[in-house]
Amino acid sequence: MMYTLGEIAKLINATVIGDSSIKINSIASAVSATNTQLTYVVSQKYQSDLINTRAGGVIVNRDLLKDCPTNALVVDDVYLAFAKITHYFKQQVLPSNGIHSSAQTNQASIGQNCTIGKNVVIGHNTTIASNVVIEDNVTLGDHAYLHPNVTILQGCSIGDNVVISPGVVIGSEGFGNARDDQAHWHTIAHLGNVVIGNNVTIGANTTIDRGTLEDTQIHDGVRLDNLIHIAHNVIIGQDTAIAANTGIAGSTTLGKRCMIGGMVGIVGHLNICDDVVVNAKSTIDKDIKTPGIYTGIMPLMPHKQWQNVGLWLVKLDKIVKHLNIKLKNLKD
């Protein structure tokens, strides 16, 4: 799909500042975009990315226009405009049955009622059980084993010696939405993929969302239990293990050799360093920069009460020190 900046401006009700005839073939992040790609910048937080971008066009508001080094599409609500334009660059996969003639199956063992799309490449000595769906342009490595009812959506890449349990969905749409001024939601079409390394195991009914613009990444040797949700743009480092019912929100990075207990909730846009252990039912809501064992469990309570409790919890060590000094003075 190819659009000029002028055509894109009409689709999102933007004003073009610069060359409206520039042709755009895809959307990318401000950091990685080239002169044939479109990007967006939502706030001053990403000012340096905007200043250094090489994109052919940038969706910005008027406050950021002065920092834009290239052609600009000026709108009032950048995130909403981005959400709308993503759908014009989303490649749709048409429903199909059986094994497409362009698929390279390399004599894989393929069960009944499987669907394998266009330009799929399957490695040697791979086994695909019944009712598996593999959409267009997927790459699957050697010695993989896909259990029944696995779904791998378009464009995903999976390495060697990967075991995927029943009911897993890889490459599902991420949960990204933008609200308009009438409080209606507009879904963001996710244009990235999922890239899974070698020697990975994925438990039953786990879901891994595709990235918004960049790829969601599961590195070599990762172990995922059943019923885990991994959101868009998450990166999981080598040899990390995650227990059942854990949810990881978008754009969070886990380091190498981490161990995450069951029912852990990890907030988005965080960085967790290597060699971190998180105990079951914990909530991670800030970066972890030091290896070690972490626990964060509290009983449910009204939010206002939790704010007060949290305020005192972080002061407990200071209170204890103060009381110890008082006691020492009394004894003296």
- Structure-model confidence comparison of residues 123 and 303, the more confident one: 123
List, in sequence order, every residue forming a beta bridge with 259; answer none if it has no partner.
Answer: 241, 277
**What does the alpha-carbon distance between residue 140 and residue 196 come to, in Å, rounded to a whole number?**
10
| pTM (two decimals) | 0.90
Q: Would the pLDDT of 332 be above 80?
A: no
- Structure-model confidence comparison of residues 329 and 215, the more confident one: 215
pLDDT tens digits for 16-61? 999 999 999 999 999 999 999 999 999 999 999 999 999 999 999 9
Residue 300's pLDDT band, with cuts at 50, 70 and 90, is: low
Residues near 71 by Cβ (< 8 Å), separated by ≥ 6?
Answer: 5, 16, 17, 18, 19, 20, 22, 56, 57, 58
Q: Which CATH number fits domain 3-86: 3.40.1390.10, 3.40.50.300, 3.30.470.20, 3.40.630.30?
A: 3.40.1390.10
Residue 95's pLDDT band, with cuts at 50, 70 and 90, is: confident
Residues near 64 by Cβ (< 8 Å), separated by ≥ 6?
Answer: 41, 43, 44, 47, 50
Domain extents for the chain?
3-86, 109-294, 301-332
Residue 60's closest CA among 17, 7, 3? 17
184 has catalytic annotation: no
Q: Would the pLDDT of 310 be above 90?
A: no
pLDDT tens digits for 219-265? 999 999 999 999 999 999 999 999 999 999 999 999 999 999 999 99
Residue 52's closest CA among 34, 31, 36? 31
Handedness of CA 99, 101, 104, 109 (dihedral sign): positive
List, in sequence order, every residue forming a beta bridge with 224; answer none if it has no partner.
Answer: 202, 242
Mean pLDDT of the region 131-147 = 98
- Structure-model confidence comparison of residues 87 and 300, the more confident one: 87
Which of these is catalytic: 147, 190, 219, 232?
Answer: 232
- Structure-model confidence comparison of residues 331 and 302, the more confident one: 302
List, in sequence order, every residue forming a beta bridge with 209; answer none if it has no partner.
Answer: 172
Question: Which CATH superfamily is 109-294 part of?
Answer: Hexapeptide repeat proteins (2.160.10.10)
Q: Would the pLDDT of 299 be above 70?
A: no
